[in-house]
Chains A and B, each alone.
Chain A
Amino acid sequence: MLAAVNETVESVVIRFAGDSGDGMQLTGSQFTNTSALLGNDLATFPDFPAEIRAPIGTVAGVSGFQVHIGSSRIYTPGDSCDVLVVMNVAALKSNLRHLKKGGTIIANTDGFDAKNMRLAGVADDKNPLEDGSLEGYDVKKLDVTKITRAALTDSGLGVKEIDRCKNMFVLGLIYWMYHRPIENTVNFIESKFKKNPAVAEANVKVLKAGWNYGETTEAFASRYEVNKAKMDAGVYRGITGNVAATYGLIAASVKSELPLFLGSYPITPASDILHELSKYKNFGIKTFQAEDEIAAITSAIGAAFGGSLAITTSSGPGIALKTEAIGLATVLELPIVIVNVQRGGPSTGLPTKTEQADLLQAMYGRNGECPVAIVAAQSPTDCFDAAFEACRIAVEHMVPVFLLTDGYIANGSEPWKFPTTADLPTIKAAYSKPEDKKDGKFLPYERDEKLSRPWAIPGTPGLEHRIGGLEKQNGTGNISYDPANHEFMIHLRAEKIERIADYIPDQALDNGPEKGDLLILGWGGTYGALKTATRDLLAEGYSVAHAHLRHLNPMPKNLGNMLKNYKQVLIPELNSGQLIKIIRDKYFIDAKGLNKVQGLPFTTIEVKNKVKELISK
């Protein structure tokens, strides 16, 4: 027998694609976990359809999971993949464009039969495995279905149950190819199917069969090693953006000593935060699945009035419905965090695809002049810090705060060197006390140096007061239709948001020289692509720097000066140009845009090409 040749590679991108029911998300996340435990740096990107179970075998029903592992630092799930695993012809049809030229295809031939061809809309004589169209790729054909069935003939399981083990065969084979141990997944299977030992045994058997297939057949000439990455020392775990955001909110509740209340209505891709928070009632967290998006936010406003750390979570269409209530919270000057896990819009748009097109909605999307603070998360793990920061601003400044994440970082995962409770700052709420009364009167809209009013919680004797959406007289909070007072209050609410800039850090450069040819200014989930592009461009000798905004409203006070240090400023966004409008308006600079609205993240190449084009001009 010919032993496979061992090669060491710096990084590899694998994309698992199959029918929604083929278990590709699970396969991908198992490979991810095992790689993380081996010490690789990594990033993942699940790519699934909006339909829960689109018709089997169709292109609409294809679910994908891309994972990028490496021995150097990894910031994106990879522009394109080195290995594409396809469980049927539909998966190949919709994913081939993600495969590098000359890349490896591992195809389940059973998924390329006449029926699957028909379902995928591929003509009978155009089977890509046979018609030569895949020339130039390294195609490995194997009948996963047949081998899986053969391995489980004596299992006593039905055909349906047996076929559900197919993904484990593929996983076992990929583990063999990349020198990963199977133990972690064996433990996972045994725990997942604790109540069904026969199914657990079958899955483990097929996983091993996959590994052995690689070991014993001569189909695979090479095996690959991806060594440990050089990462900061510490304790790590893997985490997705939505879970990290959840933990950030819980941490803020603990560090502010405020009970957390979530009012939410299910919506993709934000629902996971509702699911996660619902699990942690032991932290005193109250989750309220409201009857609609409006009740979700207004119940949170009620809880905020009552003294809770109030949160509402949603995505674009849901945020649109919350608009009026955000205005109310602004006038009431109550703390509330509105989490928008952005997805493709407008309207229902692309529920499972990513976009950054709600920045202007967060900034301006309300009636009247109604500024709120805006914070954005830049990566899956950063969702923790961004959520914590959003809560801090809301509570310490008594304002509504938008937390913008997106479907890409919400569902993506990466290793996280997580903080301990002791590392986190405390969040201090300022409460009114009965002795704050002046001449026997309590003034609910009296302000401190931040211009924020103190929180007067129902149940506190002597602080009985009324608040509402009608314009307020400053100080008393009484209704006022006085023209001068209205203008004063409009300016005051704007100044209150602006003054938050005194309590946030200066904008830092993520990478690159302090002065130079071009600054890449980004925000949100594009961080990984921009960081990787900047690293590559610097290595190629370009005079490029990268700054990534956490605070979008207000912006750090030094940002204007930072922008002046570069001949050009490039603002890449997954929209038609939103941050760029704000930057041009605020700083009068001729910033250039790089815009993409395809429901997909930037590739590093796209960013690099744009920078090179601008610098060469």
Chain B
Amino acid sequence: MTILETSVNEKKLTSKDFVSDQEVRWCPGCGDYSILKQVQTVMPDLGRAREEFVFISGIGCSSRFPYYMETFGMHSIHGRATAIASGLKAARPDLSVWIVSGDGDSLSIGGNHTIHLLRRNFDVNMLVFNNQIYGLTKGQYSPTSEAGKITKSTPMGSIDHPFNPAALALGADGTFVARSMDRDPKHLQAILKRAYQHKGTSFVEIYQNCNVFNDGAFEIFTEKSSKKLETLFVEQGKPLIFGENNDKGIKLDGFKPVIVNLNEGHSANDLWIHDETDQVKANILARFFDSPEKEGHLPRPFGVFYTEDRPCYEDMMTHQLEEAASKGADLDKLIAGRETWIVN
């Protein structure tokens, strides 16, 4: 290798190297812009060659994402990005495969593939942009829209019970379940890096504002005025603390989470300490899902709910292939089979 080549190869990539020449065509003010920016920002820090990244998406506003990434990418068909990514990862375990999907794409038309991806635990990263609405088709309710929601297809209010994506992912035995939001770039970047580092399917729900059809759906969690009181940012080994002045905490009373006031005789030592490896606690955390309008509701958690080390599908597949390879592969022997006869 010449000196010149070495220097070229070792040139550190920047976020600009991940920006494609395509004009970004989301509505001005869409939360997708921030997510794109954060992904492009973390890519150079992941320490991989650009050609090893593949972004696969389905259909929907979020699914335009791959066009804007200067990586390999496929904008596929509605709901199937997860299945396409599964095939790609099975065929090419060497690649870093990212799925970009929305709430309709991954939880409605593609719901089946999502749960199977999670149980198989391919080492891929799945970003679910949840805006609780169908944007591309101009404003129908989605599987995460709240009950009673008035949309074009539900003039009298939605009678569908919404999915809780984090709980669904845990129910499907996901090995990495996290939530973040478009309006907290630092947090989103940190979660994206964690997702990349996790070996297995990383399910990342990202609250994303659709300023045209569902503006302000997550305002209460993202606006300064209410964020501190309504959100709970969990960190490994840290107590569950939130509130205007970090004065509230979550304590477990048996399996029941209760809000306590740290100014009223409760200490941080009494609180629930976040443990990402505790599946029972992760399930309770995912169920912090009450409407913020409900009296006495729990704050909405963000961060990594759960991680688990479980063998990945493609690794086990590779292992079986390696084991079988020791038998040798002779096509002529295979075609002839065990029983032949000769005609003279």
Contacts and interface: CB of A to CB of B under 8 A. Distances in A.
Interface of A: 33, 36-37, 39, 228, 231-239, 247, 250-251, 254, 259, 261, 263, 280-284, 286, 288, 290-292, 294-295, 298-303, 305-308, 310, 324-325, 327-328, 332, 417-421, 458-470, 478-479
22 contacts: A36-B341, A228-B343, A233-B344, A235-B343, A250-B334, A259-B91, A261-B91, A280-B324, A280-B334, A281-B324, A282-B327, A288-B86, A298-B113, A300-B87, A302-B84, A302-B86, A302-B90, A417-B343, A461-B51, A463-B72, A464-B71, A466-B74
Contact of A295 (B69, B86, B327, B332): B86
A282 B74 CA distance: 31
Interface string B53-90: 01010010000001101111111110010011111111
Contacts of B50: 461, 464
Contacts of B52: 458-459
B321 A281 contact: yes
Given A299-B90, A462-B51, A469 B76 contact: yes
A500 to B, nearest CB: 25
B90 A466 contact: no
Nearest to A292: B112
Residue picked from B69, B73, B320, most chain A C-beta under 10 Å: B73
Given A247-B335, A295-B80, A468-B66, 4 more contacts: A231-B343, A302-B84, A306-B87, A479-B22
B194 interface: no
Given A466-B73, A468-B67, A282 B329 contact: yes
A465 B77 contact: no
Contacts of B73: 464-468
B325 A302 contact: no
B156 interface: no
Contacts of A261: 87, 90-91
B341 A306 contact: no
Contacts of A458: 51-52, 54, 72, 88, 92, 95
A142 to B, nearest CB: 31
A96 to B, nearest CB: 34
A298 B67 contact: no
B83 A294 contact: yes
Given A282-B325, A466-B20, A301 B51 contact: no
B3 interface: no
B37 interface: no
B135 to A, nearest CB: 17
Contacts of B321: 281, 284, 286
A301 B75 CA distance: 12
Given A250-B331, A300-B87, A479-B67, A237 B340 contact: yes
Given A282-B324, A302-B56, A234 B74 contact: no
8 nearest CB pairs, A to B? A299-B87, A468-B75, A302-B87, A302-B88, A281-B324, A303-B91, A295-B83, A302-B84
Residue picked from B88, B113, B116, most chain A C-beta under 10 Å: B88
Given A37-B339, A286-B321, A469 B90 contact: no
Residue picked from B49, B54, B67, B92, most chain A C-beta under 10 Å: B92
A470 B25 CA distance: 14
B113 A466 contact: no
A360 B321 CA distance: 38
A301 B84 contact: yes
Contacts of B324: 280-282
B328 interface: yes
B74 A468 contact: yes
Interface residues of B, number: 58
Interface of B: 20, 22, 49-52, 54, 56, 59, 66-67, 69-77, 80, 83-92, 94-95, 112-113, 116, 317, 320-321, 323-329, 331-332, 334-337, 339-344
Contacts of B337: 237, 239
A236 B88 contact: no
Contact of A418 (B320, B329, B336): B336
B94 A459 contact: yes
Given A37-B339, A236-B342, A298 B87 contact: yes
A600 B80 CA distance: 37
A254 B331 contact: yes
Given A235-B340, A236-B341, A306 B88 contact: yes
Contacts of A464: 50-51, 70-73
B65 to A, nearest CB: 10
Contact of B320 (A281, A307, A470): A281
Contacts of B94: 459
A36 B336 CA distance: 14
A193 B208 CA distance: 63
Contacts of B70: 464
A117 to B, nearest CB: 41
A151 B56 CA distance: 66
Residue picked from B71, B73, B83, B339, most chain A C-beta under 10 Å: B83
A479 B20 CA distance: 13
Contacts of A298: 76-77, 80, 83-84, 87, 113
A469 B341 contact: no
A131 B5 CA distance: 94
Given A291-B113, A465-B72, A466-B73, A299 B335 contact: no
Contacts of A250: 331, 334
B137 to A, nearest CB: 15
Given A292-B112, A460-B51, A463-B51, A302 B339 contact: no
A336 B212 CA distance: 40
Contact of B339 (A228, A238, A325, A479): A238
Nearest to B81: A298
A469 B92 contact: no
A421 B335 CA distance: 9
A247 B337 CA distance: 11
A300 B76 CA distance: 13
A328 B59 CA distance: 12
A302 B334 contact: no
Contacts of A303: 87-88, 90-92
A254 B72 CA distance: 27
A478 B22 contact: yes
A201 B335 CA distance: 32
Contacts of A417: 343
